[in-house]
Amino acid sequence: MELKIAILPGDGIGPEVIAQAVKAVEAVCRRFGHTLSSASAPVGACAIDEFGDPFPESTFSLCSRSDAVLFGAVGDPRYDNDPSAPVRPEQGLLQMRSRLGLYANIRPVRTWPSLLDRSPLRAEIARDVDFVCVRELTGGMYFGEKGRRDGSDTAYDTNVYSRSEVQRILDYAFRLARMRGHHLTVVDKANVLETSRLWRQVAMEMEKSYPDVHTDYMYVDNAAMRLVCDPRFFDVLVTENTFGDILTDEASCIPGSMGLLASASVGGRTAVYEPIHGSYPQAAGKNTANPMAAILSAAMMFEYTFGLSGEAEAIRSAVALCLENGVVTSDLAAGENACSTSDVGDCVAEYIMKGTI
Ligand code: IPM
Ligand code: MN
């Protein structure tokens, strides 16, 4: 198969971790006989530097022409403490999501037996955690009307959802639950927010069409607690954009490092695969960042975009073997035992080629 992939490394550690994901994709192509045809484009702060635009038209056009996008991270400390910056790197990511119609963000959370002692949770709580967060990605406060009034000393962000936006993400989540453990948790704040009441109303109507899925409803504050007290409760968790952003950062700690969490953003013709961590500017260029999240995002790409689950599994097994063998970066290994970003990438590629499954 020919794989047309747009590579958007972005800022900070993005280029380093994406280079390892590309190595894994190349190894899969060699082992399974696929052809990779890839092209890179700038996004985020590096695109602002080059084009004055965090998501230039040429980058959008490359994405639209590709089957899938491998995305690193965006962000730059130059913008962090400057609320008046007219353009920001993060806008590149938000524009990409919106323009490519990526309304569903899929963030699987699992633990690895070999890393249970790295989890901030006790091993008996972290063991066998395996759930998927489905985060709505193109609505809510992120995209609602926002601004300043009263001489700019009052600010607002509007949380808006239409029935059709709610329906399409819930439909995705119900179907995913059907393919997994048949348990869907709808997370909202329906005791306070009108948007949440609409979500709950629509979910309760749709629930009837999925009698094989056990559906429950949970307030977001309670879900935040449940994620750390009893994460095995969850199978598929669906929620709106802002709640999903916060809960998935929380959930990302469970396996032991945020550097292990992959994601897929789907809904349009071209899906985007990205690690859930950010650009981590302090580590940029040091060859120390954990590339596993980017590599596992490439595994999701094989499965979701190309329907090649054997190829996805080859990557996941290679990652699991590295973790078992202690081939890990400093977020997971102590001092001298830590491997570099590129060493981990080389080892994953080697295991893929050798065929660990
Ligand atoms: C994420 C990130 C983004 C978000 C930022 C960088 C805009 O935190 O992908 O979770 O808030 O969606
Ligand atoms: Mn986030």
Domain extent at residue 144: 130-253
Strands 262-266 and 271-275: antiparallel
User: How is 141-209 classified by DSSP, letter by letter?
Assistant: GGTS-EEEETTTTEEEE-----HHHHHHHHHHHHHHHHHTTSEEEEEE-TTT-HHHHHHHHHHHHHHTT
Look at the chain and report how many structural domains it folds into: 2
Q: Is the pLDDT of residue 331 over 90?
A: yes
* DSSP 8-state assignment for residue 58: H
Which residue from 88, 91, 98, 245 has its CB within 8 A of the most atoms of ligand 1, so it is best to mutate? 245
> Per residue in 44-60, pLDDT tens?
999 999 999 999 999 99
Q: Is the domain of 134 the same as that of 249?
A: yes
155 and 191 share one domain:
yes
Among candidate residues 122, 119, 157, 156, the one with its CA nearest the CA of residue 139: 157
- CA–CA separation, 148 and 133 (whole Å): 33
Predicted confidence (pLDDT) per residue in 202-224, tens digit: 999 999 999 999 999 999 999 99
Helices 163-179 and 194-207 meet at what angle, rounded to 10? 50
Write out the H or E segment, with its range, that includes residue 100.
none
Domain membership of residue 186 (yes or no) is: yes
Question: Does residue 141 share a domain with residue 239?
Answer: yes
Can you tell me whether residue 306 is helix, strand or coil?
Answer: coil
Please, which pLDDT band fits residue 334 given cuts at 50, 70 and 90? confident
159 in a structural domain = yes
Based on the fold, state whether residues 335 and 235 are members of the same structural domain.
no
* Same domain? 230 vs 186: yes
Do 31 and 76 sit in the same domain of this protein?
Answer: yes
Q: Are 231 and 343 part of one and the same domain?
A: no
In-domain check, residue 355: yes
Contacts of 318 (CB under 8 A, 6+ apart): 24, 347, 348, 349, 351, 352, 356
Which domain CATH number covers 193? 3.40.718.10
Give backbone dihedrals phi and psi of 331, rounded to 5 degrees, phi first. -65, -20
Question: Has residue 222 been placed in a domain?
Answer: yes
Q: Return the number of other C-beta atoms located less than 10 Å from residue 305's C-beta.
A: 21
Residue 53: active-site member: no
- Give me the percent of the chain exceeding a pLDDT of 70: 99
In a domain, 216, yes or no: yes
Residues contacting residue 20 through CB under 8 Å, at least 6 positions apart: 291, 294, 295, 341, 342, 344, 345, 348
Annotated catalytic, 343?
no
Residue pLDDT, tens place only, 70-79: 999 999 999 9
Q: Which of the following is catalytic: 67, 171, 249, 346?
A: 249
Give residue 28 CA to ligand 1 midpoint distance, Å.
29
pLDDT tens, residue by residue, 242-288 = 999 999 999 999 999 999 999 999 999 999 999 999 999 999 999 99
CB of 269 within 8 A of CB of 262? no
**DSSP type of residue 260:** G
pLDDT at 355: 83
pLDDT of the residue at 24: 98
Both 227 and 310 in one domain: the answer is no
User: Measured in whole angstroms, how far is the alpha carbon of residue 134 from the centre of its chain?
Assistant: 10
Give residue 356's pLDDT. Answer: 62
Would 199 be classed as within a structural domain?
Answer: yes
Token pair of 200 as six digits: 């709950």
pLDDT, tens digit (0-9, with 9 covering 90-100), for 146-198 = 999 988 899 999 999 999 999 999 999 999 999 999 999 999 999 999 999 99
- Rounded Cα distance, 108 and 304, in Å: 13
81: left (phi over 0), alpha (psi -120 to 50) or beta: alpha
Q: What is the pLDDT of residue 17?
A: 98
- Backbone dihedral region of 238: left (phi > 0), alpha (psi from -120 to 50 degrees) or beta? beta
Q: In terms of domains, do 53 and 134 share one?
A: no
Examine the domain organization and report whether 191 and 301 are in the same domain. no
Check whether residue 228 and residue 136 sit in a common domain. yes
**Ligand number with the minimum distance to the CA of 94:** 1
Contact in structure between 258 and 249 (CB atoms under 8 Å): yes
Last residue of a domain, one of 253, 270, 293: 253
Domain membership of residue 115 (yes or no) is no
In the predicted structure, residue 346 carries a pLDDT above the cut 80: yes
In a domain, 76, yes or no: yes
Boundary of a domain, candidates 209, 225, 253: 253
3-class DSSP assignment, residue 66: coil
278 and 229 within one domain: no
Distance 242 CA to ligand 2 centre (A): 9
Give CA–CA dist 275/193, Å, rounded. Answer: 30
- Catalytic residue at 249? yes
Amino acid at 258: M
> Using one digit for the tens of pLDDT, what is the confidence trace for 80-133?
888 888 999 999 999 999 999 999 999 999 999 999 999 999 999 999 999 999
- pTM for the model: 0.95
- Identify the domain boundary among 210, 231, 253: 253
Q: What is the pLDDT of residue 335?
A: 73
Which position has the token pair 């400057």?
82
Q: Which of 103, 142, 161, 273 is catalytic?
A: 142
pLDDT value at residue 211: 98
- Which pLDDT band, with edges at 50, 70 and 90, does 357 fall under? low
**Beta strands 183-188; 104-110: pairing state:** unpaired
Active site residue 216: no
Catalytic residue among 49, 67, 245, 343: 245
